Copies of this chain bind each other. A is one copy, B any other.
Amino acid sequence: MYHTRIEPRVSETDGVGHINNTTIPIWLEAGRNEIFKLFTPDSSFKNWRMIILNMNVDYVSQIYYGKTVDIYTWVEKVGRTSLVLYEEIHQGETLCVKGTAVYVNYHIKEKYSEPIPPEIRKELELHLRK
List chain A positions with a Cβ less than 8 A from chain B.
4, 7, 9-11, 13-18, 20-26, 29-30, 33, 36-37, 42-45, 48, 51-59, 64-67, 108
Contacts and interface: CB of A to CB of B under 8 A. Distances in A.
A10 B20 contact: yes
The dominant DSSP class at the A interface is mixed
Copies of this chain in its oligomeric complex: 4
A33 B55 CA distance: 22
A3 B20 CA distance: 23
Contact of A14 (B14, B21, B44, B55): B14
Contact of A26 (B11, B13, B51): B11
Contacts of A57: 54-56
Q: Which of A18, A45, A64 has the most CB of B within 10 A?
A: A45
A53 B60 CA distance: 7
A68 to B, nearest CB: 11
A66 B54 contact: no
Contact of A21 (B18, B36, B52): B52
5 contacts: A10-B16, A11-B14, A11-B26, A13-B45, A15-B15
Contacts of A45: 13-17, 65
